[in-house]
Amino acid sequence: MKPSFFLLNSNMPSGSASLIWFRKGLRIHDNPALEYASRTSAFVYPLFVIDPHYMEPDPKAFSPGSTRAGISRIRFLLESLADLDLSLKKLGSRLLVLKGEPSEVLIRCLKEWDVKKICFEYDTDPYYQALDNKIKNYASLAGIEVFSPVSHTLFNPADIIEKNGGRPPLSYQSFLKLAGEPSWASSPLLVELSSVPPVGDVASFEISQVPTLKELGYVQNDQEELTPFRGGESEALRRLRESLSDKEWVANFEKPKGDPSAYIKPATTVLSPYLKFGCLSSRYFYQCLKDVYKNVKRHTSPPVSLVGQLLWREFFYTVAFGTPNFDKMNGNKICKQIPWNDDDELLAAWREARTGYPWIDAIMVQLREWGWMHHLARHCVACFLTRGDLFLHWEKGRDVFERLLIDSDWAINNGNWLWLSCSSFFYQYNRIYSPTSFGKKYDPHGDYIRHFLPILKDMPKEYIYEPWTAPLSVQNKAKCIIGRDYPKPVVSHDSASKECRRKMGEAYALNKKLNGVVSEDDVKSLRRRLDEDGGQEARGRRQRQKLIS
């Protein structure tokens, strides 16, 4: 079967060596970089570099892991590498693992192994863009061919931006119109390789096996539940098959419908961590979904269908690629400038699941332990942190998600935080998730809370979402005294959400008045004014209260 998604000139001399540099794209199926290297070289060096930037243990971090990644994601990655190594071995090769700053390691390898071609999947993340430029520059000086196909996404974000006159589309609908069907969609993808050429001489390099967490210096906390999701292409394909086997479920999939509290059998596919690391090809996923649609009478459509979910991913990749400073408020043209508060104590309470709102805290425990939560659960905690209750900066929440999620993805995470904080894409800041009644709709008995916050496991269902309202006798019986065993709410949702709406209203008015050109000083002076007004209002409230009592 011929792949239809790239052109090549394969007049390589026999004996030539290629290096395939794995970063994401940790798979054999639909991997054009691996396929090209294999087809056109006598020797192939499959390399993964353990990058200290992401993987150096950080004992000072707020939870086990490195500065940039929680332990669950690191474990997921190591499992994915072990699985890739196993698959490569079946094809006559193996994964070579080296440690160090990737561009330095790579340049040494290219020199010592006399590599004629370097192949790696194109990556739009700013970190990899910078790294890839270094490698491309070196390769061009050294006369080494670079093959870097787009295979992490369905579309090349640059093509969509070009079609739109050089700017990214800012709505999902306009994205859909521009994107149409992917060019490769009608021909079958290359999903199997029969062999990979042998690894050449590794010269003086000390190549290690895929390391364990312990070998990397991580200490695991036995108390914490670990993510139930195993990394790797084999598990990704198994999960995909399992999801697709229920054709009715696929055909009727409708998001945001679905139960965010379902944790034993999640309401969505949980393929995001596999897509993040490229254990699963998004293009293969897309083709499989289209095959299911062909065989059913009726199916849902974007934005709510499963194909629609993959297109959300593409949408955020495209906007992120075409927007300078996409991951910041400052200097980001599509982001409303909002005078978020700075409060490390409140931030720590949110991050460490101590807000006193069991629904919010349970989700934050699921994040810390599993690294994955349902989309609507993410909505709830992101809204709570920003425009709903605490009025803290979305960048702070983004950082926590970025570190702890096993599916942590630069474009998607930033895009969704911009959305949830009503900084971009979505502007109905009056619509706030209730931290008490939203979860109750799906899970009146509070099983999800009981699982992730076992301290509340004996709280009667009448109080599980608002345990501070339980009489002391009930708290005693449930062996959970509020304020001692589990915190009181850090804010009162009613007054905090009212205050948030007021501040959002003022911030939106300022952005409108200044036509979106809001300076840092403008934001600061609005913050001062809002604090003064807020202070006056709070004093007024206290006085009124005194008069009443």
Binding-site positions for FAD read 268-272, 309-316, 407-409
**Residues 227-256 interacting with ligand FAD (rule: CB under 6 A):** 255
User: What's the Cα-to-Cα distance from 444 to each of 81, 359, 480, rounded to whole Å?
Assistant: 41, 11, 20
- Cα separation, 50 vs 68, whole angstroms: 14
Hey, what amino acid is at 498? K
Helix axes 344-351, 358-370, angle to 10 degrees: 70
Q: Residue 59, exposed/middle/buried by CB under 10 A (0-12, 13-18, 19+)?
A: exposed
Read off the tokens for 304: 């709510």
Q: Is 440 in the site for ligand FAD (CB under 6 A)?
A: no
Q: Which stretch binds ligand FAD (CB under 6 A): 112-120, 307-315, 478-486, 522-530?
A: 307-315
Q: Residue 271, exposed/middle/buried by CB under 10 A (0-12, 13-18, 19+)?
A: buried
Q: Which stretch binds ligand FAD (CB under 6 A): 30-38, 58-66, 370-378, 510-518?
A: 370-378
- Other CB atoms closer than 10 Å to residue 213's CB: what's the count? 16
User: What's the Cα-to-Cα distance from 2 to each of 12, 39, 122, 188, 494, rounded to whole Å?
Assistant: 19, 11, 21, 8, 61
Read off the tokens for 50: 């353990």
Q: Is 382 in the site for ligand FAD (CB under 6 A)?
A: yes
Binding ligand FAD by CB under 6 A: which of 417, 425, 429, 465?
A: 417
Task: Please state the closest distance from residue 317 (CB atom) to ligand FAD, in A.
Answer: 9
Binding ligand FAD by CB under 6 A: which of 83, 233, 407, 443?
A: 407
Q: Is 507 in the site for ligand FAD (CB under 6 A)?
A: no
Task: Please state the closest distance from residue 11 (CB atom) to ligand FAD, in A.
Answer: 38
Is 29 in contact with 281 (CB distance < 8 Å)?
yes
Q: Which stretch binds ligand FAD (CB under 6 A): 351-359, 415-423, 462-470, 534-542?
A: 415-423
Is 143 in contact with 52 (CB distance < 8 Å)?
no
**Residues 258-277 interacting with ligand FAD (rule: CB under 6 A):** 268-272, 275-276
Alpha helices in 384-470 (DSSP H): 394-404, 410-420, 437-442, 447-452
SS3 state at 21: strand
Comparing CB distances to ligand FAD, the nearer of 36 and 285 is 285
Cα Dmax for the chain: 92
Q: Residue 146, exposed/middle/buried by CB under 10 A (0-12, 13-18, 19+)?
A: middle
Read off the tokens for 164: 């739109």
Comparing CB distances to ligand FAD, the nearer of 310 and 353 is 310
- Rg value, the chain, Cα: 25
Q: Is 307 in the site for ligand FAD (CB under 6 A)?
A: no
Q: Is 121 in the site for ligand FAD (CB under 6 A)?
A: no
Q: Which stretch binds ligand FAD (CB under 6 A): 91-99, 171-179, 223-231, 373-381?
A: 373-381
> What is the helix (H) or strand (E) element at residue 152, kind and residue range?
none
Task: Please state the closest distance from residue 377 (CB atom) to ligand FAD, in A.
Answer: 8
Task: Please state the closest distance from residue 66 (CB atom) to ligand FAD, in A.
Answer: 17
Binding ligand FAD by CB under 6 A: which of 23, 73, 117, 313?
A: 313
Binding ligand FAD by CB under 6 A: which of 379, 403, 440, 450?
A: 379
Q: Is 503 in the site for ligand FAD (CB under 6 A)?
A: no
Comparing CB distances to ligand FAD, the nearer of 73 and 440 is 73
Binding ligand FAD by CB under 6 A: which of 128, 286, 401, 465?
A: 401
**Residues 274-303 interacting with ligand FAD (rule: CB under 6 A):** 275-276
Q: Is 134 in the site for ligand FAD (CB under 6 A)?
A: no
- Give the interface with ligand FAD as residue ranges (CB under 6 A): 255, 268-272, 275-276, 309-310, 312-313, 316, 374-375, 378-379, 382, 401, 405, 407-409, 412-413, 416-417, 420
